[in-house]
Amino acid sequence: MIQTGLLNNAHKDLITCAAFDYYGLRLATCSLDQRICVWDVEESGWVLRDEWKAHDAPIACVAWAHPEFGDVIASAGFEGTAKIWERSVQGGGWEEKAALVDARASVRQVQFAPNSFGLRLACVSADGWVRVYDCLEQNKLDAWLLAERFQVNPLPQSLHNDEGAATPITAPKQIQSAGAREADGGWCISWCKERWWGALLACSSGASGIVKIIRFYPSQSPQIVSQLATPNSNATTSVSWAPGCGRSYHLLATGGRDGHVRIWKVTAPIPEDDEVVEEADHRWEATLVADFDDHRTAAGGVGQVGKVEWNVTGTILSSTGTDGRVRLWKATTTSGGRIWRAKGSIGVEQRMPEKSGLGMDE
Amino acid sequence: MDALHIDLVPPLVEAGKFNELVQSGHIISASLSPHNNSLAIHMAPLGEPSSENSRLEQEETVYFASHDDIPSSDRRLILSSFSTFSAIWSTMRSRESLMSREALEILRKLSIDYVNFIKESWIHLSQPLSRPEPIQFSAEHYRSLYATFSLFVVLFVPEFGYEDAPVGEELMEWLNIHFIEPSTEEGDHLSSLDSPWEDGAFWPYLTRSIIRGLSKASLFFLDTLLQHPSEDLQDLVKLLIPLVETHPRLPQFTAERDFAQASRRWKDKVKALRVEMDRIPEDSRFDDYDNWWDSLSDIVGILEGRGEVLQRVCEELGADWKEVCAAWGIFVDSRLRRQDLPDVVTDVFEKMPPDPTNLEDTIHSSLFSGNSDQVLKYASDFDIWLSAHLADIMEPLGLLDTEADPESELSRRNQYVLSYADYLHSDPTLWRITVTYLYSCGKAGEEQGDEVLLRIPLQLDIPDSDEPSALAEIIKIISTICREHGRESIASITYARAKEYGKAISYSLSAEDWPGLGRIIDTVLQEYVQYGPAVFADHASKIGPSLDQLHSDSRTGGIFTQRLTFAVRYSHIHKLRLQQDYSAAASDLITLLRDEIAPRSWWPVLLCDSLEFLQYGPKLLFSSADVLQLLQKLEEIVIRSSQGSGEDYLPILVETGKGGGEKEALEKLRTVRLAIARYLARYTVGSETHFT
């Protein structure tokens, strides 16, 4: 482990999210200060390229689109708006291309689908809804169709609620109740990175902690194909779908308010036809293959996980938590890839005097 | 490998006090970079953002950290071993029988190359130079690697035909190279004495020289004993000297049978010496300092091949199990085979176990025991370069199970090689090497390699004059790698990224990547929309040859032929236009519309292009049938758009209009209609002649 750089005073308030672009050569950061910064890596280090006020509220998340769509960023605001930004080819600077205002509570995470599905954005908001938008004109980026929306944890009588479905939500009440639950909830989404299985999104919302895997179809409403149920009912704060990289099964990681990082192995039937789904759905299986509670330790056993994320080859998982550590996990070679182990950790505490920076502390 | 921990600087809180940050509403957060697996780390709000969060100094800092130390000192080994790794990969791939003589000989040669590369790195790091960067591994680490890889070669990659030959001599040679005993200083000291046997180190030194087969030193000090006050000892030494001199060693013989016979005869002579020794009365076995008889008896016991004596003496000398095992193959069982070694090792370990705190010793003991899985397990703890390269050779030698693990779907070899590639990925300048290792690891490795290759930066927007050649070089390397490993679709995407559409299409054709081909054609057409006809014509002219390739390829079923044909022919029109060959351009334009080679969404664009030809003063470029064709298409667009199908016809014209909508597009088409009307007026007046 080695520290390689430092960016001082990147924002005027706490940074809420940092996202590397597809190549890892640019970094977008957003903050409670309502601004987005885009940094370029140069020989001397990271250099601020652009900075702008993007929302009228704190920003929860930024995400890059695939470079084939140009320099495109989506941002999620606590005022309930997701925005699309494009870097202008001529003058530089970022232009607001669209504001997606359908959410009735703060938008917590935005993520673009893999490029093979076109320019498609999923958003999850604190009202418990996931919304999926398709860009109608990829060259203009100003027209976005709300292609799907559903409640992650619907009331029992409306399992799949698509446009205009039976359980109407009254906006003011929804915001109130969502607001009351926000303190102990978790809102997260992650797209399956591959095209082969169809468009799949893992999502979790609110306090339940259950992660649902939703499959989207061109001509029917989205279906839940599998669920990852944590042993207790704590909220899931982060979910990350590992790049497939040749595996015949999927790996997903979740982090929760119970301080646990979990890795799930999900086996899926080979997709045959978009329309034939019912039989196939029964063959999805999710098993827990790793469960770590290291993030609980330092905070007196009540810690929580902030974020989980896979590297680009799906071989390293990073997790962060209230123990103040970034932890890295890797499957051990000697176990045939079955057993996941800590590979390293990073903290921000004062070094112990006897430590020289490269300690074997675990 | 043990988990490592670092604390970032400047620190945000005192040691052990992160909980205070949590109380004030903070949590740590991180993102992984696709470039090199490094991390961007920052503080984030815990729970709802509120103004009540107490502010923290430097809380807006972003730290960057890498989970693997960026290889610097071991770059030399990474680079040199890469070419050998590639050679092994192509050898194994191109041979049907992995156990053929040729394959095994190549494997041995390349394994020895690895040993030499490690040795070079070791020598390089042993030099007292000042280095700009801190070194990752010490010279001692490379010494361990050198010893370990050499032992692997001795035990598992013998010369072809010698797999079943006695191994003792080779093991002793290995021991003498890597674990030098007794020390030269000791020898120098003893040789400077008049009566060296009076020194406590004399007998141990002599015994060890004999065990190690250092005949020169052994004979020198045996000679000194001829001056010893005891005549008994002198007599015995006179018998011993020729025995040490004539000890049959395998390399001196061409046939093992002769060696075995000579060894038997020699052993009989040693037995005769033992008889002579036993005749020495008990009270004559001492000198003023020591019981010389016991010391001599130990030496003779070893020469007799008595295992228990060898092991006890080695223990007393402070030698370890390695020395016992190597000497076992010289003195106790001079015909010891590689396959018998694990049994010997098991017995030796009972009294002299390997040092569990010394990783190198643990790897060596696993090598001696022939336990490949353990070798790799400990080797990966020691250095993942070692485990990856050992596994890569072990698999073709049949030392590893080639079946994929049902859980990870990876073979043992692939797991270790992928692990090394992950480490290499921490240094993005090593991408070429990283990708080659990845691509040698089956489907999983190929797809990981694709992810890395797709993210190689192509700095297209740097106008520097040197850049194009550097860029061309990178693209060339990528396409070579892709060709070697059958990843043509990745090469195609790379060429498309570099706007080399001709090559991009060619690669997507050979990869049979039809969706990819479709995307490239769309991208080429997009060049027109974004940058106009001149840029488009330039790009599209390079895809012409691909069209012939596509025509001759029946697999595509013509789906893409039409789109590609349109792109090529449309670009040709613009080329003619730019060359002011308006007659030909106008004629081609009509063909594209009449034969419906142009997709409907491009009709309005073509109609707008026709404006220039309709208004061309010197000549009439269209026949009446041509004009009718233009008019028909125009009608269809207008009528269908008014019926709500504008999306099928107008989007491209809308896009090229930069900001306008369908209304503006239809407005533009109205000017075409007007131009057609004027043209027809000119045509019917007949004052001018139509030229085709």
> Which carries the bigger pLDDT value, residue B512 or residue A147?
A147
pLDDT of residue A359: 37
> Which carries the bigger pLDDT value, residue B59 or residue B153?
B153
Q: Touching check for B41 and chain A: CB below 8 Å?
A: yes
> Which carries the bigger pLDDT value, residue B208 or residue B4?
B208
Q: Which of B84, B144, B134, B176 is nearest to B386 (CA)?
A: B144
CATH superfamily of A10-183: YVTN repeat-like/Quinoprotein amine dehydrogenase (2.130.10.10)
> Which carries the bigger pLDDT value, residue A327 or residue B47?
A327
pLDDT of residue A184: 72
Facing residue for A13 by CB, picked from B60, B377, B651? B60
- For B427-471, what is the HEC assignment? CHHHHHHHHHHHHCCHHHHHHHHHHHHHCCCCCCCCCCCCHHHHH
> Which carries the bigger pLDDT value, residue A159 or residue A339?
A339
pLDDT of residue A179: 43
Same CATH fold assignment for domains A10-183 and A190-356: yes
First-to-last alpha carbon distance for chain A, in angstroms, is 13
Residue type, B249: R
Facing residue for B29 by CB, picked from A307, A330, A357? A307
Residues of B in contact with A24 (CB under 8 A): 33-36, 455
d(CA A162, CA A323): 40
Q: How confident is the model at residue A360 (pLDDT cuts 50, 70, 90)?
A: very low
Q: For A180-184, A326-330, B225-229, B302-306, which range has the lowest pLDDT when averaged over its residues?
A: A180-184
- In this predicted structure, the answer to whether residue B308 has a pLDDT above a threshold of 90 is yes
- In this predicted structure, the answer to whether residue A175 has a pLDDT above a threshold of 50 is no
Facing residue for B11 by CB, picked from A313, A322, A351? A351
Both structure tokens of B296: 């001599």
Residues of B in contact with A245 (CB under 8 A): 444, 447-448, 451
Facing residue for A29 by CB, picked from B8, B62, B387? B62
- In this predicted structure, the answer to whether residue A171 has a pLDDT above a threshold of 50 is no
Residues of A in contact with B8 (CB under 8 A): 3, 346-348
Q: Are the beta carbons of B520 and B489 closer than 8 angstroms?
A: no
Between positions 523 and 552 of B, the ones with CB within 8 A of A are: 526, 529-530
> Which carries the bigger pLDDT value, residue B98 or residue A130?
A130
- In this predicted structure, the answer to whether residue B394 has a pLDDT above a threshold of 50 is yes
Q: How confident is the model at residue A357 (pLDDT cuts 50, 70, 90)?
A: very low
Q: How confident is the model at residue B437 (pLDDT cuts 50, 70, 90)?
A: very high
Out of A172-181, A261-270, B105-114, B576-585, give the one with best mean pLDDT. B105-114
pLDDT of residue A169: 30
- In this predicted structure, the answer to whether residue A33 has a pLDDT above a threshold of 90 is yes
Q: Touching check for B464 and chain A: CB below 8 Å?
A: no
3-state DSSP assignment of residue B6: strand
Domain residue extents for chain A: 10-183, 190-356
Domain residue extents for chain B: 18-66, 75-129+136-160+370-422, 172-336, 590-692
- In this predicted structure, the answer to whether residue B85 has a pLDDT above a threshold of 50 is yes
pLDDT of residue B639: 92
CB contact under 8 A, A349 and B6: no
Question: B478-506, pLDDT tens digit by residue?
Answer: 888 888 888 888 888 888 888 888 888 88
- In this predicted structure, the answer to whether residue B547 has a pLDDT above a threshold of 80 is no
- In this predicted structure, the answer to whether residue A301 has a pLDDT above a threshold of 80 is no
Nearest-CA distance A143 → chain B (Å): 12
Residues of B in contact with A347 (CB under 8 A): 5-8, 18, 28
Residues of B in contact with A311 (CB under 8 A): 32, 34, 37
Question: B235-279, pLDDT tens digit by residue?
Answer: 999 999 999 999 999 989 999 899 999 999 999 999 999 999 999
Across residues A67-84, what is the average pLDDT? Answer: 94
Facing residue for B47 by CB, picked from A32, A183, A307? A183
Facing residue for B44 by CB, picked from A303, A306, A362? A306
Facing residue for B59 by CB, picked from A14, A320, A362? A14
Nearest-CA distance A120 → chain B (Å): 17
Q: What angle do CA A297, A302, A303 make, to 5 degrees?
A: 65
Residues of B in contact with A185 (CB under 8 A): none
CATH topology of domain A190-356: Methylamine Dehydrogenase; Chain H (2.130.10)
CB contact under 8 A, B6 and A357: yes
Residues of A in contact with B9 (CB under 8 A): 3, 6, 351
Nearest-CA distance A87 → chain B (Å): 14
Q: Are the beta carbons of B304 and B267 closer than 8 angstroms?
A: yes
Across residues B132-148, what is the average pLDDT? Answer: 85
Across residues A249-272, what is the average pLDDT? Answer: 89
CB contact under 8 A, B61 and A9: yes
- In this predicted structure, the answer to whether residue B590 has a pLDDT above a threshold of 80 is yes
d(CA A347, CA B7): 5
- In this predicted structure, the answer to whether residue A158 has a pLDDT above a threshold of 70 is no
Q: How confident is the model at residue B313 (pLDDT cuts 50, 70, 90)?
A: very high
Q: How many CA atoms lie within 13 A of B62 on its CB side?
A: 30
Q: Above pLDDT 70, what percent of chain A?
A: 83
pLDDT of residue A164: 34
Between positions 475 and 534 of B, the ones with CB within 8 A of A are: 515, 519, 526, 529-530
User: Considering only alpha carbons, which residue of chain A is nearest residue B377?
Assistant: A334
pLDDT of residue A358: 39
Across residues B592-596, what is the average pLDDT? Answer: 89
- In this predicted structure, the answer to whether residue B422 has a pLDDT above a threshold of 70 is yes
Q: Touching check for B404 and chain A: CB below 8 Å?
A: no
Inter-helix orientation angle B431-439/B412-424, to 10°: 170
Out of B102-116, B465-479, B659-673, give the one with best mean pLDDT. B102-116
User: Considering only alpha carbons, which residue of chain A is nearest residue B38?
Assistant: A4
Interstrand relation of B4-7 and A340-347 (parallel, antiparallel or unpaired): parallel
Across residues B292-314, what is the average pLDDT? Answer: 95
pLDDT of residue B51: 55
pLDDT of residue A107: 96
Q: Above pLDDT 70, what percent of chain B?
A: 91
Q: How does the average pLDDT of chain A come out, rounded? A: 84
> Which carries the bigger pLDDT value, residue B468 or residue B678?
B678
Question: B438-483, pLDDT tens digit by residue?
Answer: 999 999 999 999 999 989 887 655 555 455 577 788 888 888 888 8
d(CA B613, CA B223): 111
- In this predicted structure, the answer to whether residue A162 has a pLDDT above a threshold of 80 is no
Q: Above pLDDT 90, what percent of chain A?
A: 59
Q: What angle do CA B328, B329, B331 make, to 5 degrees?
A: 65
pLDDT of residue B294: 93
Facing residue for A8 by CB, picked from B43, B61, B655? B61
Q: Touching check for B223 and chain A: CB below 8 Å?
A: no
Q: Touching check for B40 and chain A: CB below 8 Å?
A: yes
Residues of B in contact with A58 (CB under 8 A): 49
Q: For A81-95, A140-154, A171-185, which range has the lowest pLDDT when averaged over its residues?
A: A171-185
Across residues B641-661, what is the average pLDDT? Answer: 80
DSSP run (H or E) holding A150: strand A144-151
Q: How confident is the model at residue A167 (pLDDT cuts 50, 70, 90)?
A: very low
Cβ–Cβ pairs < 8 A, chains A and B:
313
Q: Which of A149, A274, A272 is nearest to A217 (CA)?
A: A274
Q: For A229-233, A255-259, B151-155, which range has the lowest pLDDT when averaged over its residues?
A: A229-233
Q: How confident is the model at residue A362 (pLDDT cuts 50, 70, 90)?
A: very low
Cis peptide leading into residue B182 (ω within 30°): yes
CB contact under 8 A, A22 and B526: no
Across residues A104-122, what is the average pLDDT? Answer: 94
In which region does residue B624 sit, left (phi positive, over 0), alpha (psi from -120 to 50) or beta (all else)?
alpha
pLDDT of residue B55: 67
d(CA A313, CA A82): 29
CB contact under 8 A, B33 and A24: yes
